[in-house]
Chains A and B, each alone.
Chain A
């Protein structure tokens, strides 16, 4: 390739925007792809570390700066083309690596496979980061414009990939991203006015077009995932496959060896389980669609689950099912003569499967008289709903395997927080019951944490004796907690006793229970549930929770990590016993997060210090400035991510749909920050950097204080209105947040130009480290704390540069 150019082309801004969009889309897409072929906690680790490619790029360019001088366009194009190719090729290679997440602690070879995958995924991010950083260095006087196109492109990419994943399979989306990489090279060729103009342009566009997909490629799913194992069974066939950003749904028929999904079914069940279709999400997490021909008599097995208890205490209740899925809870309600069932399901594709694709099989369950389905997020639905119910069922939504392996430890969950339960109770009729069913973990974790949460909610509501409003039972692998708006009566307790006795279930708690009544049919080594619930009703329950070896303190909206149970002080004991059966108690998601943070910190430390050390004698100018930059850039990098992540969480509670919240908030933040960057030079003529960062701090604190009330006030707005409202709320904060980086960089470019790649490396590393750190801080101290730390960091950054006269 012979590249020549006419004089004076500007930076390839549209190419930058396109490749940034592709890179962010790729990041989100990788999470999706690895959640399907592996498990999402390892995906998180691999992708986080791969993003260090941004940091490595800065270091690489800092070291190769002399060589790259005068070779900008060729270097840019090579990196853009490599990005396009490597997005596809590196993923295909990575999925062929025989990594088995389940064997990591058993097999010393597994971490090596993990490193190989990380190295493969690292390549595309390294290439795209090179493109951006090269442009920064080459066009340092227009850095704010380049940064602006970078951010706006990334923002659009975040939104576009979510839309794309509704239309095509994830594998197809990967090809689109790959093609975008090549197209960005073509755009750069055009923008940089390189010659020969048309032949290369046509060639690049042609390569991109070839990559554009006609069909999906097959994903190599781990053989240990539920779907892979099911497909081994004789005569099993996939009968439907559809995908969205919410997950890959695979419907499976097994005519020879039927699915018999009935969690915790009583040993005394009289009736058989009707035919079922398996419904796998991301090739795991089995739920089912149950055949229903209108004959309720065939559903008698549903009366032999622990979740059937409330129907024995209520007469023809009006029911709200949160997390309807394939419809088992609705069938259970219909079997028990519910007067009406409102069912809430997040995933529209699940609703479509039940109502359309398999309507003949399910009896179009969601369209039956007396059943209304709402495609909505459960918490948001309740918050915006005025109706009251006799029974609110919080269904058993997660699968046992994922739940028991601690894979949800990092997932924010707003269904099981103190505030959520308070809302559920407010939506009960007098005499109404809230019912929550969970898998039983040994030793008890979920069940006790929910019990503690409900006790706290009842106390906050002014109930003097919460114990009178609670009953709890368990089967051999599920527990069901009932919370009654009024106190449970004597006849309620009689019904409870009869229900558990007939089904060989055990009572955990009812008002007045004694130790002799527990641990009869499903015996534990000690009556842990009884002991636990009794302690949680005592005034000194905080001491009990502190002393318990797992974290059973209630989750809150500020710390919405219901599934985080691990305590550091328990870890040594669990590690000693790891080869003898304690591994499932080790909370994978959390430990991997910590390991990722340590690795990212180590790598960042090296990446940031290496170029500094190598250049220590080369540039003696402005030596006093160096230590200021050393504080300034990491501080604003971390602060930006902290605020972005924390406000994504805050807006989830307003937009309610996690997917929309993440894409809308992320896009808004990036686009408005991009605009802020574009305007930064002009604004800086009127406002000092110090004033701008003080503005960021003020907005952040104001939002922390005002958003909850504002959201309560606006909660009734239609979803489509909430999206622009959210964008408008984010706009001023994000606009200001887009300025400190380009303003700082302009100082670097003026005073210490050789440090531009270094500042880029710092930004890249800070993004990775701060994303992990924000989650850890939120788990332990809450999102408000994360925001406050960010504000302090912004102020620190401003103070550091302010002390240098003539800079800001």
Chain B
């Protein structure tokens, strides 16, 4: 497959990827319908699905995995990091309830794919990556692909990005034993922060932190699928 792609004319390859992407979006939409009882909705935000269908995931994975880029699964991107499963990316982006004029902070740039998706939905994305090599490559790639409203820096995400705070939404994809208080303070009243919890290839649960208009904080533990442990009369 890899070899075939290399010898294909550029336009044809792009068309091929677009078709694969469309299939992926259809697959995710069908997944959502199939598991609507578990997810609590029969469709994700239409804008999110549209963006998922336009951003080329194959650009964000290593060359030898480009043929797998449109399979609905996480992929390794080097440095012990992964690019998330598209289904989970869609779900997480949907949960943030983004508006077009929002400013979003992302902790854990990784390949840059999640930032690219976010950037097509909001006005500006600031992304912090802890691994210098990844920060550099993601920044260069995003620039090359024309995602002009994303800024990436290599830093400690724990302290957020004070210069651009407050943020309408924050997505923390880096592992942490607790929710960093500086990030909470950089979240706008009414804003949402999402923290996926789990191992590199498996998101176990999503923690959604909501800061109310008057600054009160609540967290919601969300399973990617609402798996109800009680059966029968219980």
In angstroms, how far is the closest chain B Cβ from the Cβ of A151?
Answer: 41
Decide: B178 and A548 in contact? CB cutoff 8 A: no
Residues of B within 8 A of A262 (CB): 177-178
Taking CB atoms and an 8 Å cut-off, the chain B residues in 55-85 that contact chain A are 72-74, 76, 78-81, 85
With known contacts A100-B76, A579-B87, A106–B201 Cβ distance under 8 A: yes
A48–chain B nearest beta-carbon distance, Å: 24
- CB pair B217–A102 under 8 Å, yes or no, is no
Say which residue of A257, A404, A443 sits within 8 Å of B228 (CB atoms).
A443
B144 at the interface (CB under 8 A from A): no
Known: A228-B80, A476-B219. A444 touches B88 (CB 8 A): no
> Would you give the shortest CB distance from A307 to chain B, in whole angstroms?
13
Q: Which of A189-240 contact B (CB under 8 A)?
A: 223-225, 228-229, 232-234
Q: Are the C-beta atoms of B178 and A260 separated by less than 8 Å?
A: yes
Q: Contacting chain B: which of A68-76, A523-531, A727-735, A800-808?
A: A523-531
B230 proximity list for chain A (CB < 8 A): 528, 531, 547-549
Specify which chain A residues have a CB less than 8 angstroms from the CB of B201 in the assembled complex.
102-103, 106, 224, 583
In the assembled complex, B204 has its CB within 8 A of some CB on chain A: yes
Q: Determine whether A585 belongs to the interface, using a CB cutoff of 8 Å to chain B.
A: yes
Give the CA-CA distance A337 to B201 in the complex, in Å.
43
User: How many residues on A have C-beta within 8 angstroms of the other chain's C-beta atoms?
Assistant: 61
B131 at the interface (CB under 8 A from A): yes
A785 within 8 A of B: no
Chain B residues with a Cβ closer than 8 Å to the other chain, count = 57
Q: Specify which chain A residues have a CB less than 8 angstroms from the CB of B72 in the assembled complex.
A: 579
Given A401-B199, A522-B219: A548 and B156 interface contact (C-beta under 8 Å):
no
Which of chain B's residues 153-198 have a Cβ closer than 8 Å to chain A?
A: 154, 156, 158, 176-181, 184, 197-198
* Bound-state Cα–Cα, A552 to B168, Å: 40
**What residues of chain A lie closer than 8 Å to B38, measured between beta carbons?**
577, 580
Interface residue? B229 (CB, 8 A): yes
Instruction: Mark out the residues of chain B between 212 and 228 whose CB falls within 8 Å of any chain A CB in the assembled complex.
Output: 217-228
B-binding segment of A264-272, A350-358, A367-375, A493-501:
A264-272
Task: Provide the residues of chain B in CB contact with A376, threshold 8 Å.
Answer: none
User: How many Å lie between the Cα of A548 and that of B230 in the bound state?
Assistant: 5
Report B-chain residues with C-beta under 8 Å of the C-beta of A444. Answer: 229
Residues in A neighbouring B130, C-beta threshold 8 A: 232-234, 257
B129 CB, nearest partner CB in chain A, Å: 11
Contact of A267 among B79, B85, B200, B217 (CB under 8 A): B217
The answer to whether A584 and B204 have CB atoms under 8 Å apart is yes
B198 touches A584 (CB 8 A): yes
* CA gap between A544 and B232 in the complex, in Å: 9
In this complex, what residue of B is CB-closest to A101?
A: B201
Q: How far is the CB of B61 from chain A (nearest CB, A)?
A: 13
Q: Render B123-164 as a binary contact track against A, CB cut-off 8 A, 1 for contact.
A: 000000011110000000000000000000010101000000
Q: How far is the CB of B54 from chain A (nearest CB, A)?
A: 23
B80 contacts A524, C-beta separation under 8 Å? no
CA distance A520 to B223 in the complex (A): 18
In the assembly, what is the distance between CA of A263 and CA of B227, in Å? 24
Which residues of chain A come closer than 8 Å to B205, judged between CB atoms? 442
Residues of A within 8 A of B (CB): 100, 102-103, 106-107, 223-225, 228-229, 232-234, 256-258, 260-265, 267, 269, 400-401, 404-405, 440-444, 476-477, 504, 520-526, 528, 531, 535, 544, 547-550, 573-574, 577, 579-585
Known: A100-B76, A260-B158, A477-B197. 15 other contacts (CB 8 A): A106-B74, A223-B76, A223-B78, A232-B80, A258-B156, A263-B177, A404-B197, A440-B221, A441-B204, A476-B179, A477-B207, A524-B220, A544-B234, A547-B230, A580-B224
Write 28 A-B pairs (CB below 8 A) sorted by A numbering.
A103-B201, A106-B201, A223-B76, A223-B79, A228-B80, A257-B130, A260-B178, A260-B180, A265-B177, A265-B179, A267-B181, A267-B209, A267-B219, A269-B181, A442-B227, A443-B223, A477-B177, A521-B219, A522-B219, A523-B221, A531-B234, A547-B230, A547-B234, A577-B225, A579-B87, A580-B38, A581-B88, A584-B202
Closest 9 CB pairs of A and B: A581-B224, A265-B178, A443-B229, A223-B80, A584-B204, A102-B201, A257-B156, A106-B73, A229-B80
